[in-house]
């Protein structure tokens, strides 16, 4: 799954934008044994439509000028109508796209909306100047939590996440999904978990990918190893770009 790297002071100073995970997937998958392949696949939640059993709400928002910190604080109060307030995670922008926060809320296996549903208070609306809301499907919350390190507070203090949005070329969604669901190659990539979610209603992206690393150093090390593969013929990066029309990648931490 592709990632974006901006300059950061961890071991790598200036790394190219769209090579992070897809360039880290081994091009010699035909030699992978069945047992190791199965183990790698367990690192990808929502890799197939059958594995995406649950409904999620994805709120991508840009703060109004001078309101980023206040907007972040507002997410600590559960949103109106959220059926599982404790099943919410807020990713905070560090490098990448223009948004400030992406809020992922788990809604269970069904989603309904009513005309009389409580709306966001005007005071909170004033904290942002643009946003998108998307209903998508993804893995169970237990699987999401395990792969994103949310099931144990000791896992996430220094974790970094790559949040990506993809739009497939017309008629190539199956090929894009296959490409984006490939697990990272552990020989090159120190990722500890990967999620793929699929658009149902909302913004104009088709897939959302989230990848977790234990630290910025692990992310930098993985990227450093992957750069050389980017320009190789039929590299994972090239294969992804052949079926994806556009994408964005953003490096994040979790909102405390």
Least confident of 68-72, 163-167, 221-225: 221-225
Segment holding 164, helix H or strand E: strand 160-168
Residue 118 pLDDT: 65
Q: Measure Cα distances from 54 to 2, 47, 139, 207 in Å.
A: 24, 13, 6, 15
pTM of the model: 0.83
Give the span between the Cα atoms of 101 and 133, in whole angstroms: 12
Q: With contact defined as beta carbons under 8 Å apart, do 104 and 58 qualify?
A: yes
Mean pLDDT of 198-222: 97
List the chain domain ranges: 22-254
Share of the chain above pLDDT 70, in %: 83
More confident residue, 39 or 256: 256
Structure token pair of residue 211: 């990848």
Quickly state the pLDDT bin for 48 (edges 50, 70, 90). Answer: very high
244-253: average pLDDT: 97
Given pLDDT bands bounded at 50, 70 and 90, which one contains residue 93?
Answer: very high
- In this structure, whether the domain defined by 22-254 belongs to CATH 3.30.70 is answered with yes
Q: How far apart are CA 30 and CA 12, in angstroms?
A: 31
> What pLDDT was estimated at residue 37?
44
Nearest to 223 by CA among 11, 66, 61: 11
Which residues, 6 or more positions from 35, have their beta carbon under 8 angstroms from its beta carbon? none
**Does the pLDDT at position 208 exceed 50?**
yes
**Per residue in 13-23, pLDDT tens?**
333 333 344 44
- pLDDT on residue 147: 96
Q: Per-residue pLDDT averaged across 183-190, rounded?
A: 90
> How much is the pLDDT for 67?
97
pLDDT value at residue 32: 36
The pLDDT value recorded for residue 34 is: 37
Q: Are 217 and 9 in contact (CB under 8 A)?
A: no
Q: Determine contact, residues 45/144, Cβ cutoff 8 Å.
A: yes
Q: Please give the C-alpha separations between residue 247 and each of 96, 97, 169, in angstroms, as whole numbers.
A: 11, 10, 11
pLDDT number for residue 202: 97
The pLDDT of residue 137 is above 90: yes
Taking the C-alpha atoms of residue 247 and residue 169, their distance in angstroms, rounded to an integer, is 11
The pLDDT assigned to 230 comes to: 83
Between 18 and 41, the higher pLDDT residue: 41
Q: How confident is the model at residue 197 (pLDDT cuts 50, 70, 90)?
A: very high
In degrees rounded to 5, what are phi and psi of residue 235? -65, 155
Highest mean pLDDT among 33-47, 106-120, 127-141: 127-141
Give the residue with greater pLDDT, 10 vs 97. Answer: 97
């Amino acid at each position: 799954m592709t990632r974006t790297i901006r300059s950061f002071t961890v071991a790598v100073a200036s790394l190219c934008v769209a090579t992070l995970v897809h360039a880290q997937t081994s091009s010699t998958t035909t030699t992978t044994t069945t047992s190791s392949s199965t183990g790698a696949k367990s690192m990808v939640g929502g890799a197939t439509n059958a594995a995406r059993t649950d409904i999620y709400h994805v709120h991508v928002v840009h703060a109004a000028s001078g309101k980023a910190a206040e907007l972040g604080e507002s997410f600590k109060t559960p949103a109106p109508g959220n059926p599982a307030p404790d099943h919410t995670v807020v990713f905070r922008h560090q490098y990448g796209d223009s948004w400030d926060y992406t809020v992922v809320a788990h809604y269970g296996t069904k989603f309904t909306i009513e005309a009389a549903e409580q709306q966001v208070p005007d005071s909170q609306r004033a904290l942002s100047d643009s946003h998108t809301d998307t209903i998508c499907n993804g893995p169970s919350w237990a699987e999401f939590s395990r792969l994103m390190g949310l099931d144990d507070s000791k896992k996430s203090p220094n974790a970094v996440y790559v949040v990506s949005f993809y739009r497939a070329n017309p008629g190539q969604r199956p090929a894009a999904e296959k490409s984006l669901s490939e697990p990272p190659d552990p020989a090159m990539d120190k990722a500890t978990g990967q999620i793929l979610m699929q658009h149902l209603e909302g913004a104009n992206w088709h897939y959302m990918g989230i990848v977790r690393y234990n630290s910025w150093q692990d992310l930098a090390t993985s990227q450093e190893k992957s750069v050389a593969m980017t320009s190789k013929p039929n590299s994972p990066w090239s294969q992804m770009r052949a079926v994806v029309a556009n994408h964005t990648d953003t490096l994040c931490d979790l909102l405390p």
